Amino acid sequence: MSITRGLVFALVSVIPAMILGLVAYIIFGGVTSSPSSEDFMYGPCYGVPFSLILIAFIYGVRIQVEME
């Protein structure tokens, strides 16, 4: 049950993670007008979204739900 909950949390966090990755890209000085590969930054584009999705998955796995 905890793996399923972790997967659901991770799937729900995909869109907000992508938005935060875009915001981080812009804050760190990413060029939004030029789509060349020379302006690409790996940290904001891959690191931020994947780390947030991983954190959501770990949170979903570790949370304990009390059932009566």
pLDDT in tens, 7-64: 999 999 999 999 999 999 889 888 777 767 777 788 888 999 999 999 999 999 998 7
- The pLDDT, as a whole number, for residue 17 is 96
* pTM value surpassing 0.85: no
- The pLDDT, as a whole number, for residue 53 is 95
- The pLDDT, as a whole number, for residue 36 is 74
- The pLDDT, as a whole number, for residue 1 is 79
Q: What number of CA atoms fall less than 13 Å from residue 63's CA on the CB side?
A: 16
- Phi, psi torsion values for 27, nearest 5 degrees: -65, -40
